[in-house]
Structure 1
Amino acid sequence: MSIHNPAYVRREMTSARPAPQKTRGLSHWLRANLLATPKDVVLTLLAIAALAYILPQLVQWLFIDAVWVGTDRAACSTIAQGGVLPDGQSGACWAFIGAKFQQFIFGRYPEPERWRVLLVMAMFAVLLVPMLMPKAPFKGWNALALFIALPLVSFFLLTGGFGLPHVETQLWGGLMVTLILSYFGIVVSLPVGIILAMGRRSNMPVIKILCVTFIEVIRGVPLITVLFMASVMLPLFLPDGWTFDKLLRALIGVSIFASAYMAEVIRAGLQAIPKGQFEGADSLGLSYWHKMRLIILPQAIKLVIPGIVNTFIGLFKDTSLVSIIGMFDLLGIANLNQADPAWATPTTPVTGYIFTGVIFWVFCFGMSRYSQFMERHLDTGHKH
């Protein structure tokens, strides 16, 4: 059919269309996420009704009726319970958190020596912040200081040496132990996981079998079992007179467990790389290690950033399981202090768990938001 057929030629202008709605701002977000369809409107109204019912009572218990100052359980107990509060009025016992706050942070670390812990935390923050900034200079030196120098300096600061009094690791606890375990586990699990993932994809049968066996065995048992074996079974294989510090056993167990899961995350990224990338690297004459370091691994790790951060978040929360071997992390210290008869009230345990839960949430939410930032920063596949 001829393209000059008049039936295919418009003879009049189309009517003007309304201006497009705003695609930014609060109103657009509400329309797109909460009010897009009638079902969304109904669910939004139900959620608002549930929040209107729950939030006032929660705010009342957490803040309005809460006890902020006190020296013992009497401040958070009703008259019927032997305290000073009117019967029927009981809120969160934040006085308990205030009285035990330093133990939540330092555990039973000697009070005159706690400046050493604060110094280590300050050095960690100073080195971590520029490491997280993509455009910060001297990344190599920063990484060397954060992952090599800081652990060595922290070891002598926290345990003692060079004139500092010795502090046994049995006295360590609280947020301090949680951060140490998670930091060590993260630093070790990523490189070990990468090596295991490459070993699992290796063409050498012995290397592949060893890596597959390690990964499947560790992933097939719970972390509690790994910690128990690291704490109880590991010393049985050492020569007579040799022993491992309890904290070191926990570090080994947590790192081994996280490395097995990290290996599978990295392997997923390696399998997602197109075969042409491997062939292109081979055509350039690159060796295996240059190919992996310069071309394959950067792309693979970028693809699995959500999985890596998810493993880190799980590791951070799983540190609470070290209580099975007698280590008192943040949650363990909360449980330990709730048994104090001086603060035995019905609201003390709930308040302690809420406090520890908020701390865990802050750290995990921070890692999650940073991973989303890095995903956006590294998402260059569709940029012009």
Structure 2
Amino acid sequence: MPNFKVKKIKKLILPFRKDEVELEWMAENDNVILIYTKVNEESFFLQVKKEKDSFIIKGDKHTKPSKIAYLQKSLQVFRDYFCHNEDIISEAFAFKHNALIEKTSLIAYDFDQLLAQIKGKIYIEIGFGSGRHLLYQAKNNPDVLVIGIEIYNPAITQVAKLAKKQNINNILLIQSDARLLLSVLKPNSVEKIFLHFPVPWDKKPHRRVIARNFCEECARVLGKNGRFELRTDSCEYFDFTLKQFLCFNSPKFTLKKNENLEISSKYEDRWKKQNKDIFDLWVWNLDNVCDGLNLDDFDFSDITFNANDLILLEKNFKNLTLKGDDYFLHFENLYQVKEGLIFKIAFGAFNKPEHCYIGVSKNIEFLFKKPFKIKENLKAIEKLKKVLKFHFDVIVFS
């Protein structure tokens, strides 16, 4: 993460604007100052962390912008206008002035943008890496939108460049956890889901993408005619995945070993050179499991606060975690702003948590984007509303 360290900073007088960077307002507690920053209509927090004899300035990891250049430019502006050169201790960022380029339509920078672009047939590839298989599917299925999910941003940028070079336009890439994406897609909206050579995590199976709830989400978005395809060099992962899908009522399978495909990933090339076996598992005809939960929008309209309420919230704040059967709510930090408070919380499902900043003044609002409308998030936010209504009173924890 780009950052720099400085002995001291000048007095922060906000709002401040220089070129594309706007430093609008700040929130703080005893250890950290958060600076609400905008670059080219994207908003995020710069974080000024106080240490004994210095400050570390970096981006907040849970609100980071889509392009690292936006963060680098913001750090440069903060350094140049709120620090003295002689006070700089160290730097770990380098901004290039040609880096603030236009966004490409091949990359979705949030789920709202992705969902707005979904039309017609959909394939999904989870963890596309170098993009060989994803680009092959897109090139050979021009009437299909191939959505690629990857957690590593450099891979997304590189594959987008390759697609543009090859004039492939029917792909959409997003940096996310695949489990979150599946949870917000409509039922029966996907034709194929590819998971090729995932990290097997043989010694830590709880970290695998494959799990019972993941399989249920696959069933929901695929429908009976949709197909899940696993390709792996791990026999243990193959067996594990097969057992998860055998929990459905009448699944159908195709099992293959050492099948040669027209396209091969760099990992597959490596495994073949080592004479390792390659396993394929295709799954379809999955019955959809639905609990009928109504996923309404998050709504705080029934809660209002006055000055005394804010005083009580600040006084009673606790760093604590509340747990339900299938969700949790963790209060991480509290920050003061000019006319209210900001809570940083983690919440949702245990295996796919979200992190958000909540602004509390007269009303409550999400500062950046709303959480995904999945049942675990809704339950956690309902608990949040109760905690805030009762000002962290102990009766809400029973």
TM category, shorter: under 0.3
Where relative contact order (Cα < 8 A, 6+ residues apart) is larger, the structure is 1
Name the structure with the higher strand share.
2
Q: Which one has the largest radius of gyration?
A: 1
Structure 1-normalised TM-score?
A: 0.24
